[in-house]
């Protein structure tokens, strides 16, 4: 639906080809549509730039990255310990210095450790995914709240997001309010940080 609105707005702003003389009703309808389209106040925010330059996003990303690194370090430490013990066990088996009866409980414990490592990896992955979802929710909420405040004064009819993955292939830079949004949010972030 958003693409339909954009296409409608863009197509109604392009010059019309000359055709046979129009009736009075079709001219008034065309003028009405053109006036409606040109009367729309449209803006967009480049979300790629927003995610790169909004301080709050940078802090949340750093926090997520630090937690990810800490969890990965813990997991790698446990993995190395497991691998060392498993290699030692295999070496003893190959040398024949451990009986099959004694090897079975050791093998069972190693398998349990491997399962726990797998479960820990899944737990960490789930925790980080949840944290990222919360982070994205906070960012979206922050942006939406600021857009609502910004729009009280500017009264935009439509504010779009633009990034490398959207359906908007071109947008006139005159409609770009990204810097206004980022600067406003960063100023607001600094004010809240001072409190």
Residues 148-183 have pLDDT tens digits of: 999 998 899 999 999 988 878 778 888 999 999 999
Q: Quick one: pLDDT at residue 38?
A: 60
Residues 6+ positions from 38 with CB-CB distance below 8 Å = 13
Per-residue pLDDT for 22 more than 80? no
- C-beta of residue 177 within 8 angstroms of C-beta of residue 159: yes
At 39, is the pLDDT very low, low, confident or very high (cuts 50, 70, 90)? confident
- C-beta of residue 150 within 8 angstroms of C-beta of residue 184: yes
* CA distance linking residue 184 with residue 188, whole number of Å: 6
- Assigned token pair, 107: 């093998």
- Assigned token pair, 101: 């009866």
At 192, is the pLDDT very low, low, confident or very high (cuts 50, 70, 90)? confident
3-class secondary-structure state, position 156: coil
Q: What are the tens digits of pLDDT across the range 76-96?
A: 999 999 999 999 999 999 999
State the residue for tokens 């600067």: 183
Residues 6+ positions from 162 with CB-CB distance below 8 Å = 44, 45, 46, 47, 168, 171
């Amino acid at each position: 639906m958003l693409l339909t609105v954009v296409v409608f707005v863009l197509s109604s702003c392009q010059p019309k080809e000359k055709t046979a003389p129009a009736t009075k009703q079709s001219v008034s309808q065309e003028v009405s549509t053109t006036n409606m389209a040109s009367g729309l106040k449209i803006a967009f925010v480049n979300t790629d730039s927003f995610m790169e330059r909004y301080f709050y996003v940078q802090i949340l990303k750093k926090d997520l990255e630090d937690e990810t690194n800490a969890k990965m370090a813990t997991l790698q430490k446990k993995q190395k310990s497991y691998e060392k013990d498993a290699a030692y066990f295999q070496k003893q088996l190959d040398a024949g210095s451990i009986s099959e009866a004694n090897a079975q409980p050791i093998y069972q414990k190693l398998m349990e450790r491997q399962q726990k490592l797998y479960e820990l990896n899944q737990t960490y992955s789930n925790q980080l995914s949840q944290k990222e979802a919360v982070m994205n929710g906070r960012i979206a909420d922050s942006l939406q709240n600021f857009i609502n405040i910004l729009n009280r004064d500017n009264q935009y009819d439509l504010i779009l997001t633009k990034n490398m993955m959207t359906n908007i292939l071109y947008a006139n830079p005159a409609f770009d309010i990204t810097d206004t949004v980022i600067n406003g949010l960063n100023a607001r972030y600094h004010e809240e940080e001072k409190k």
